[in-house]
């Protein structure tokens, strides 16, 4: 079976990669016949031209031989012996063609079709034309002043922060920013890191990697409750996503934010405020940041991954002045600084108003998609008589759908994938066992309205088949789904 990785490369190249990997690893033996390009294009949903281009390259490089009128065969001597390549994860789980037509509700992905390509190219071209020789040299770890000024002006205006350009450190994504925060705040003496539960598993891994001991604080419909923080050793930090908790989507009311600030002051810890997608808020004005309440106690992190594209790997930290020196050193040790031309282009993009306009445009698009998702879930669930609850739909590019009584086990997920939709259970992000098993994170940023409708129909059909088979007690559950 041929598995194409979903990695954004052109399809022909992915096919070429998949086949060379199979040949080198010995999974395809010499003289094995490869499927015809016609078969492949039908099975994988790629064009004949892409399949032909991949086969021509494989033949030119000696991986395959073409025998007139009988087909394409794996050539002799193309196997990598003694150093067998590790099979890809999908293959370890089981062979199968990874479907391209699957509707993927992965969260956190902006719509790549709507990236402002023309405007961005013009901005980069103009930055390059006016760049001085030193712009092509090395820079400082904290980032270009032009970008830090643009970010601080933007944040103070739209996110109610209180900062200047001097407080900003430009980083390679939130991922790196959380790592830097962990590195400068965690120590052997103070290693507890309170984290929300559920939370994205990356954050937990990053904090553990930096020597932290993540300790879960259960999230309810208003985020974490500072009043419920257990007594015990004071933490070095508390990581929160107060404007739109990831993944549950809850937001913290002002009372809890203030209680958290008081807790930080009394315990001497720092609040890490991850404000990853609050630009997209649909029902009311943006929620103010915690940083604006107490800049001395908060490390605020924002990212361009949702508003523009995760491909930029650009985010920023707003740090209390006392932490800037050590954060700057940590950034220097990691990678010196973010790429300079990208920083200058982003600064111009923000300064000239294109960033705010792009966000406003995307907010309209995502609001419409959110509307379709919410209404289709309610309508389809009502039509089939099942109960569904939606959480956290007022902001961002994902929401949580709860289907009381349904368990999204591995078997269930694979049945849903077979039926044509890929979904992600909240339980995968929870440190607390067996919590959130009835809930799915549904990302809608990169799906069309049509895909959202179709995907929801599949999910609801599955939930309803589960409910039907659960009714007569003791009978076996049916994972088949009607399309």
Ligand X SMILES: Cc1ncc(COP(=O)(O)O)c(C=O)c1O
Residues that bind ligand X (CB under 6 A): 108, 173-175, 200, 241, 246, 274, 276, 303, 305, 310, 315
- Please, what is the minimum distance in Å from the beta carbon of residue 171 to ligand X? 8
- Please, what is the minimum distance in Å from the beta carbon of residue 136 to ligand X? 26
- Please, what is the minimum distance in Å from the beta carbon of residue 274 to ligand X? 5
First CA to last CA across the chain, in angstroms? 25
- Please, what is the minimum distance in Å from the beta carbon of residue 309 to ligand X? 9
Q: Please say which residue, 20 or 303, places its beta carbon nearer to ligand X.
A: 303
Q: Please say which residue, 55 or 105, places its beta carbon nearer to ligand X.
A: 105
103 — phi, psi (to 5°)?
-90, 110
- Please, what is the minimum distance in Å from the beta carbon of residue 112 to ligand X? 14
How many Å apart are CA 194 and CA 235, to the nearest integer?
Answer: 7
Q: Please say which residue, 41 or 176, places its beta carbon nearer to ligand X.
A: 176
Question: What are all long-range contacts of 70-77, with beta carbons under 8 Å and residues at least 24 apart?
Answer: 70/33, 71/33, 71/34, 71/36, 72/33, 72/34, 72/36, 73/31, 73/32, 73/33, 73/34, 74/23, 74/28, 74/29, 74/30, 74/31, 74/32, 74/34, 75/30, 76/30, 76/31, 77/30
231 — phi, psi (to 5°)?
-70, 165
Q: Which residue is nearest to ligand X (CB)?
A: 173
Checking DSSP bridges between strand 298-303 and strand 270-274, what pairing results, if any?
parallel
- What is the distance, to the nearest Å, from the Cα of residue 425 to the centroid of all Cα atoms in its chain? 14
Our CA angle for 211, 216, 217, nearest 5°, is 135
Q: Please say which residue, 303 or 461, places its beta carbon nearer to ligand X.
A: 303
How many Å apart are CA 330 and CA 324, to the nearest integer?
Answer: 10
- Please, what is the minimum distance in Å from the beta carbon of residue 170 to ligand X? 12
- Please, what is the minimum distance in Å from the beta carbon of residue 382 to ligand X? 31
Q: Please say which residue, 200 or 427, places its beta carbon nearer to ligand X.
A: 200
3-state secondary structure 83-121: CCCCCCHHHHHCCCCCCCCCEECCCCCCCHHHCCHHHHH
84 — phi, psi (to 5°)?
-55, 130
Q: Please say which residue, 98 or 398, places its beta carbon nearer to ligand X.
A: 398
Q: Please say which residue, 8 or 77, places its beta carbon nearer to ligand X.
A: 8
**Are the beta carbons of 320 and 299 closer than 8 angstroms?**
yes
Three-state DSSP class for 302?
strand
CA atoms within 13 A on the CB side of 311: 8
Q: What is the DSSP letter of 240?
A: E
| Contacts (Cβ under 8 Å, ≥6 apart) of 300 | 155, 159, 161, 163, 273, 275, 289, 290, 291, 317, 318
Q: Please say which residue, 40 or 423, places its beta carbon nearer to ligand X.
A: 423
Q: Please say which residue, 269 or 308, places its beta carbon nearer to ligand X.
A: 308
- Please, what is the minimum distance in Å from the beta carbon of residue 177 to ligand X? 7
Q: Please say which residue, 123 or 174, places its beta carbon nearer to ligand X.
A: 174
How many Å apart are CA 422 and CA 194, to the nearest integer?
Answer: 31
How many Å apart are CA 389 and CA 395, to the nearest integer?
Answer: 16
How many Å apart are CA 21 and CA 11, to the nearest integer?
Answer: 15
- Please, what is the minimum distance in Å from the beta carbon of residue 178 to ligand X? 8
Place of tokens 């995502």: 366
Q: Please say which residue, 260 or 315, places its beta carbon nearer to ligand X.
A: 315
- Please, what is the minimum distance in Å from the beta carbon of residue 481 to ligand X? 28
- Please, what is the minimum distance in Å from the beta carbon of residue 10 to ligand X? 24
Q: Please say which residue, 270 or 460, places its beta carbon nearer to ligand X.
A: 270
Q: Token pair for residue 71?
A: 């087909």
- Give CA separation, 414 vs 91, 177, 401, 462, 481, in Å: 14, 34, 18, 11, 11
Place of tokens 């400068």: 184
- Please, what is the minimum distance in Å from the beta carbon of residue 302 to ligand X? 9
């Amino acid at each position: 079976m041929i598995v194409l990785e979903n990695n954004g490369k052109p399809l022909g190249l992915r096919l070429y990669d998949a086949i060379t990997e199979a040949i080198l690893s010995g999974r395809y033996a010499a003289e094995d016949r490869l499927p015809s390009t016609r078969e492949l294009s039908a099975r994988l949903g790629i064009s004949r031209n892409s399949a032909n281009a991949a086969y021509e390259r494989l033949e030119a490089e000696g991986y395959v031989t073409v025998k007139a009128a009988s087909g394409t065969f794996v050539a002799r001597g193309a196997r990598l012996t003694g150093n067998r390549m590790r099979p890809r994860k999908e293959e370890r789980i089981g062979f199968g063609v990874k479907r391209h037509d699957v509707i993927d509700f992965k969260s956190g992905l902006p719509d790549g079709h709507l990236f402002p390509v023309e405007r961005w190219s013009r901005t980069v071209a103009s930055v390059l034309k006016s760049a001085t020789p030193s712009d092509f040299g090395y820079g400082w770890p904290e980032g270009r002043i032009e970008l830090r000024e643009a970010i601080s002006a933007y944040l103070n205006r739209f996110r109610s922060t209180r900062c200047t350009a001097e407080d900003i450190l430009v980083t390679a994504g939130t991922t790196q920013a959380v790592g830097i925060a962990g590195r400068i705040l965690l120590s052997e003496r103070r290693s507890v890191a309170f984290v929300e539960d559920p939370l994205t598993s990356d954050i937990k891994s990053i904090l553990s990697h930096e020597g932290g001991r993540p300790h879960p604080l259960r999230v309810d419909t208003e985020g974490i409750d500072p009043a419920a923080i257990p007594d015990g050793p004071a933490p070095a930090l508390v990581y929160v996503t107060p404007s739109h908790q990831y993944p549950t989507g809850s937001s913290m009311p002002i009372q809890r934010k203030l209680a958290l600030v008081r807790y930080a002051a009394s315990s001497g810890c720092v609040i890490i405020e991850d404000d990853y997608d609050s630009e997209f808020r649909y029902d009311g004005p943006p929620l103010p940041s915690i940083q604006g309440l107490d800049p001395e106690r908060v490390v605020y992190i924002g990212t361009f991954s949702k508003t523009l594209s995760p491909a930029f790997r650009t985010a920023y930290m707003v740090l209390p002045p006392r932490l800037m020196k050590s954060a700057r050193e940590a950034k220097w040790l990691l990678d010196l600084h973010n790429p300079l031309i990208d920083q200058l282009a982003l600064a111009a993009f923000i300064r000239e108003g294109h960033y705010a306009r792009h966000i406003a445009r995307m907010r309209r698009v995502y609001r419409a998609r959110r509307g379709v998702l919410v209404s289709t879930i309610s309508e389809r669930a009502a039509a089939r008589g099942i109960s569904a609850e939606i959480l956290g739909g007022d902001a961002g590019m994902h929401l949580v759908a709860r289907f009381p009584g349904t368990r999204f086990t591995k078997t269930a997920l694979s049945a849903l994938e077979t039926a044509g939709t890929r979904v992600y259970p909240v339980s995968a992000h929870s440190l607390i066992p067996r919590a959130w098993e009835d809930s799915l994170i549904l990302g809608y940023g990169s799906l069309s309205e049509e895909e959202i409708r179709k995907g929801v129909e599949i999910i609801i059909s599955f939930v309803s088949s589960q409910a039907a088979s659960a009714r007569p007690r003791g009978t076996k559950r049916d994972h088949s789904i009607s399309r």
